[in-house]
Amino acid sequence: MPVDAEKEITRLWKALHSAQDEIGKTYYRWRQVALEFAGDDVKSLDVALRAAEVFGKDIGKSILPRMNWLKGEEGFMMILGKTLAGLWITDGGLATVEKGEDPGEIFIKCTRDPWPTWAKEFGVPMEEVAICRERMYQSILEDVSVFMNIPLKIELQKAIPRGHGETVMRLYKAE
């Protein structure tokens, strides 16, 4: 009974996509719960930003074992950029990393992002998606900066609503 490779890959692919879909949906379901408990006096954006910080802090800890200075500053920034882009890719996005003109400057570009679609489904404002990702990355960098003794910054330079076009983030070493 030879393996039907096409069938196996299709099954796996479907399973991967539905798992990715659940990532976003689960997040927004929890967001609803958190807002219900928070009550009317709390701004939803504040809750979402706090969640982004918690996510970032935890992800930051988990990437520390991979931080490596052996390839010098440029190599380190590239690895870090790829790690951040990798988070987007895991969720189902298309993200790439490019070297900037300044030494150690990295651009993370995402040309396909599933988060705005999920957000729309749950009636979440598009701006929240972009700012939360920026905040999450900033929180990731907090521990990484202290750990590597290098002040790291990341900022959102361009965000396209609904996930089309290109979202650009700049990762750099602060003076």
Partner 1 sequence: MAKTIFKWDYSDYPGAKIYPHLFKPIQIGNLIIPNRIKYTATEENLNGLDGFVTDQGAAYLGERAKGVVGGLCFMQGVYMDEARMGQGYVGQAAAWDDKFIPGLKRLADAIHDARAVAGIQLMDCGRVGAVDVEYGHGPSAVPQRLRIFRPMKEMSKDEIKEMIQQHIDAAKRGVEAGFDVMEISGIVGYLVSNFVSGYTNRRTDEYGGDIRGRMQAVVEIIQGVKTVIPEDMPLGIRLCSEELLDDVRGNTPEESMESYKIAEEAGVDYISCTLGWQESIYPVISRDIPMGNWIHLAKRAKEHVSVPVSMAYRLFKPGLPNEKIGAGELDIWEMCRPMIADPLMPKKVLEGKEEEIRHCVACNLCLARLFRDAPMTCYINPICAHEANPEFAAPPPAEEEKEIMIVGAGPAGLECAYVAAQRGHEVHIYDKRDEIGGTLNEARHAPYGDDELWTCVEYQKVMCEKAGVNFHLGTEVTEEVIEDEMPDSVVLATGSVYSKLEVPGGDSDKIVYLADVMSGKAEVGEKVVVWGNRKPGIGCALHLAKQGKKVTLAGKDKTAGFDVNPSFKWRYMIYMRQNGIVAYNDCEIVEIDDAGIVVKTYDGYQWPIKCDTIVLADREPNESLKKAVQSEGIELFVVGDALIPRNLSSAVHDGYRIGMRI
Instruction: Enumerate binding residues for partner 1 (CB under 8 A).
Output: 1-3, 5, 8, 11-12, 60-62, 64-65, 67-70, 143, 146-149
Least gap, CB of 79 to partner 1 (angstroms): 11
Our CA angle for 170, 132, 125, nearest 5°, is 120
Q: Which is nearer to partner 1, 46 or 74 (CB)?
A: 74
Least gap, CB of 166 to partner 1 (angstroms): 32
Least gap, CB of 87 to partner 1 (angstroms): 18
Query: 6 vs 2, 20, 92, 170, CA distance in Å?
Result: 12, 21, 21, 40
Short-list 128, 165, 169, CA closest to 46? 128
Measured CA to CA, the distance from residue 172 to residue 165 in angstroms comes to 23
Q: Which is nearer to partner 1, 39 or 65 (CB)?
A: 65
Non-local (6+) Cβ contacts of 21 within 8 A are 92, 114, 118
Short-list 135, 154, 134, CA closest to 80? 154
Least gap, CB of 69 to partner 1 (angstroms): 5
Name the DSSP letter for residue 92.
T
Q: Which is nearer to partner 1, 33 or 70 (CB)?
A: 70
Q: Which is nearer to partner 1, 104 or 114 (CB)?
A: 104
Least gap, CB of 81 to partner 1 (angstroms): 18
Measured CA to CA, the distance from residue 96 to residue 114 in angstroms comes to 15
**What three-state secondary structure class fits 42?**
coil
Q: Which is nearer to partner 1, 60 or 93 (CB)?
A: 60
